[in-house]
Structure 1
Amino acid sequence: MSTTQSERLRGLLEPLVSAKDLDLEEIEVSRAGRRRVLRIVVDSDEGVDLDECAELSRSISEKLDETDAMGEDEYQLEVTSPGAERPLTEPRHYLRAVGRLARIHLREGDEVVARILTVDDGGLDLEVPGVKGRKPTARRVEFAQIAKARVEIEFSRKDKKEEEA
């Protein structure tokens, strides 16, 4: 049975990432000129800061130096978080996005831009903003209905601390 390089890397690196209480979201190997780029995307319920990425990068680099997982060719290692407009692909992603605005493309072809209110095993409860002075409406979307979803950036969104004050 053949395994891809990404699968081998995931098996090698997931224990390192988990030991830091992070989730390994993505592994991507690409070319940048002559060298390869190994991009590792990690996240947690509390988010990931720069110091955590730097510390994890050192651990991953040491582990990769001990093995031949990247072969003999030069590569550049990048350890990063998913970013502001992250795609939502797992239930945990939706949980982390509660309170955020999301653009959700449904399998039936519709698109919904709504605030994620709650998440359970089956799907999402959303608040769809009202149009032209109308009140927002509630909507339920099951995970099985979602083709793809992404968090939307909100420039005028109040911080949770501001809302609580």
Structure 2
Amino acid sequence: MSWQQVVEQTVVGLGYDLVDLERSAGGLLRVTIDWPWDATQAQERFITVEDCERVTRQLQYVLEVEAVDYRRLEVGSPGIDRPLRHARDYERFVGETVDVTLRAPIGAAGAGAVAPGRKKFRGVLRRGEAPGAWQLELVEDAPAKPAAKSSRRPAEPAAVQVLGFTLDEVREARLAPIVDFKGRRPRGAAGNA
């Protein structure tokens, strides 16, 4: 059994999901964990320091028994810019703002108003119509000037563009690191930005 399989089996055995696994040349072994997603959950659970300590202790024992060579072990949570790696991650975060980088730039044909040659996009993740298809609702806003006064009339909504893609076309995807200092809102609530 490879060291990656040993780590995954240990993390899953403790009741967590293995989000990411990284090994650097300097001997650092970085393990990122999260709670398994359950669509029926009323509220999302978050990884705590105690969860990381629990996984660290267990991994130290297992890696020693398996004679895995490493110098330092770090166990942490995925954070606000959590990577999306599997189809279940995309299912979990439908309706959230994500950053997607495609493997190849989009072509000029069929791209709509999106500039050809572009590979990086930010938008709201949606399910596509076909199985395995995904969509990203791109909203192109004109940036507001920092000291500009707002008009009393509400601004016209920006045009929404939709980018369709499959997971095979994605090089990297992660949750957009959007911080709201007004307090945590329930998922799917209006004003997610």
Matched, 1:129 2:139: yes
Matches within 5 A, 1:24-35: 24-32=18-26
**1:53 is matched by which residue type in structure 2?**
C
Q: Which residue of 1 aligns with 2:48?
A: 49
Structure 2, unaligned runs of 5 or more: 38-44, 106-117, 143-156
**1:153 is matched by which residue type in structure 2?**
P
Q: Which residue of 2 aligns with 1:116?
A: 125
For residues 175 and 187 of structure 2, the distance between their equivalents in structure 1, rounded to whole angstroms, comes to 20
Q: Which residue of 1 aligns with 2:179?
A: 155
Q: Deviations over 1:88-132 (max 9, x none)?
A: 222122223223211222344133211113378513233222534
Structure 1, unaligned runs of 5 or more: 1-6
For residues 25 and 98 of structure 1, the distance between their equivalents in structure 2, rounded to whole angstroms, comes to 17
TM-score (norm 1): 0.72
CA change 1:28–1:149 in 2 (3 A) is: closer
From 140, 143, 146, the counterpart of 2:164: 140
TM-score (norm 2): 0.63
Larger Rg: 2
**1:22 is matched by which residue type in structure 2?**
Y
CA change 1:145–1:76 in 2 (3 A) is: closer
Instruction: Select the structure that is richer in helix.
Output: 1
For residues 121 and 57 of structure 1, the distance between their equivalents in structure 2, rounded to whole angstroms, comes to 38
Q: Percent identity?
A: 22
Matched, 1:37 2:36: no
Q: Which residue of 2 aligns with 1:20?
A: 14
SS at match of 1:131: coil
Matched, 1:65 2:64: yes
Q: Shift of the alpha carbon at 1:58?
A: 1.0
For residues 25 and 169 of structure 2, the distance between their equivalents in structure 1, rounded to whole angstroms, comes to 35
Q: Which moved more, 1:152-161 or 1:104-113?
A: 152-161
For residues 29 and 104 of structure 2, the distance between their equivalents in structure 1, rounded to whole angstroms, comes to 36
